Structure 1
Amino acid sequence: LLVFRAPGRWTLAKMSIASIVPLEDGWEKIKNEGIKVLEEFLDSGSIRSSVPQNNDPAKPRNVFSKANYAELYTTVYNMCTQRTPNNWSEQLYRRYGEAMSDYVQRQ
């Protein structure tokens, strides 16, 4: 429990503790919501209609929504900062490298 002092009062807030992200669960999320979406964009130039775009054509197009990008980033961060034996940084590095290598070879 954390205690915050707001002007004129004290507030209690529960601390959020991230649960362990299993390797296969996290990798499926990264692969399906990140890598496959990026590959789809690179192959076809199409972006999912749910992703908001800039009105300025001089700016790059968004492949991911801000919320989706933040969710993917958080998943990777959590998986790479978990304590041993649940620290998946080496496995994610290897799998991501293999995924990129596979994509390049398919082109």
Structure 2
Amino acid sequence: MSKRKTIDLEQGWDFMQKGITKLKNILEGLPEPQFSSEDYMMLYTTIYNMCTQKPPNDYS
């Protein structure tokens, strides 16, 4: 079993903000390309990993 790299709050939050902004633009009908399956899985995995890291890096 390989050890996952710890994602710090600033790095993870920046990535999540980009995904949230993209989703808001799509929902508001602004010109924005749809999420690719790869983009969606990267966003989901980042959020999951941040929420399941060991303390003090557990951001759930």
TM-score, normalised via structure 2 length:
0.87
The alignment status of 1:87 with 2:58, answered yes or no, reads yes
Aligned residues: 60
Give the aligned partner of residue 26 of structure 1.
12
Give the aligned partner of residue 74 of structure 1.
45
* More displaced stretch, 79-88 vs 37-46: 37-46
Of the two, which has the highest radius of gyration?
1
Query: What does residue range 1-107 of structure 1 map to in structure 2 within 5 Å?
Result: 15-32=1-18, 34-48=19-33, 63-89=34-60
Counterpart residue type for residue 5 of structure 2 = S
TM-score, normalised via structure 1 length:
0.51
For residue 43 of structure 1, report the CA deviation from its aligned partner: 2.0
Counterpart residue type for residue 20 of structure 2 = I
Larger RCO (CA within 8 A; separation ≥ 6):
2
CA RMSD of aligned residues (A): 1.4
Equivalent-residue separation in structure 1 for 2:58 and 2:51 (angstroms): 5
The structure carrying a bigger helix percent of its residues is 2
Runs ≥4 in structure 1, deviation > 6 angstroms? Answer: none
